[in-house]
Amino acid sequence: MSRGFFHGGGTSPEWIAHTFDSEYETELEDTAYITANPHGKTVLEDRQQLDTHSAAARRFYRYGDWNPIKPSKLALYDPVVSYHTDVNIPNVDFFGDITPPQYVTDRAISVARELSPNRMILHYMQPHYPWVSRAIKEDRDVYDWEERPERVRQFSRKKVYNAYLTDLRFILNEIRKLLNNLNAEEVAISSDHGDAFGEWGICGHGPGRFHPQVRYVPWAVTSASDSGEYIPQITPPQDTDITILSQLEALGYR
């Protein structure tokens, strides 16, 4: 596996609009996008701009400069963020309106096996705050220090950052399952943005933010081989109950 760093966005909508720009329409026609991020809908479907008073954000979050494609241009657009299924799988329920990572993993494995698109972009939510993995495991509410990076001002940086690391390990277990159950010569593991945890007095992330802890994200390249050992347990429901506003609120966007 090769490792390095990549230049991400300041926030998810910024990354989505840049990644799915019409400049790359030819490549995107062969791309499946499976996303647990509610901003896939706000940017690609609803064409909404981020409500912000930041001059930097207004400069970089402007559709006159970008030109995101419509979802119909993709080989597959699968917003698992809209799923509310009745499957009975331990620890796979929505937690505070945050889509669990297994929804993305299951759909990615199914799509890879059934459709074999030239490329897939899989957009997990974790480790986005609130960091819920330990709360799920312990069957409790989220503690205060698990809510947002800004909690470093109230608690120790170590305590808050460890909550983030726990969620990172949570999602890496899903990535391990993914790599063992689909075929791909090249898999890039990265993030749409990072988070600051008090460096230079900044916490979290935001549109137009150039903080290095936000902009520079890991970039690891490996491969995947399908062992066939895992059978996906989640399928698209006939009717989706999408509550984007509540999910954005759960993620601290409103």
Domain count, the chain: 1
pLDDT (mean) for 52-66: 55
Examine the pLDDT at 58 and tell me if it is beyond 70.
Answer: no
Q: What range defines the domain where residue 68 resides? A: 2-250
In the three-class reduction of DSSP (H, G, I as helix; E, B as strand; rest coil), residue 156 is classed as coil
The answer to whether residue 75 scores a pLDDT higher than 70 is: yes
Looking at residue 98, the DSSP 8-state letter turns out to be B
Whether 245 has a pLDDT exceeding 90, the answer reads no
Contact 203, 170 (CB under 8 A): no
φ/ψ of residue 28, rounded to 5: -70, -25
Question: What number of residues does the chain have?
Answer: 254
Model confidence band, residue 54 (pLDDT cutoffs 50, 70, 90):
low
**pLDDT at residue 204 tops 60:** yes
According to DSSP, the residues that pair with 119 across neighbouring strands are 31
Q: For the sheet containing 184-189, what is the strand order?
A: 2-7, 216-224, 184-189
Q: Is the pLDDT of residue 140 over 60?
A: yes
Q: Which of 45, 103, 102, 46 is nearest to 74 (CA)?
A: 45
Q: pLDDT per residue over 97-130, tens digit each?
A: 788 899 999 999 999 999 999 999 999 999 999 9
* Mean pLDDT over the full length of the chain: 84
Q: Residue 216's beta-bridge partner residues? A: 7
In angstroms, the CA 3 to CA 1 distance is 7
Q: Pick the closest to residue 103 from 187, 178, 185 (CA basis).
A: 178
Using DSSP, state whether 173 is helix, strand or coil: helix
Give the span between the Cα atoms of 108 and 78, in whole angstroms. Answer: 9
Exposed, middle or buried: residue 140 (CB in 10 Å: 0-12, 13-18, 19+)? exposed
**pLDDT score recorded for residue 136:** 86
Instruction: Show Cβ contacts of residue 48 under 8 Å, excluding neighbours closer than 6 positions.
Output: 42
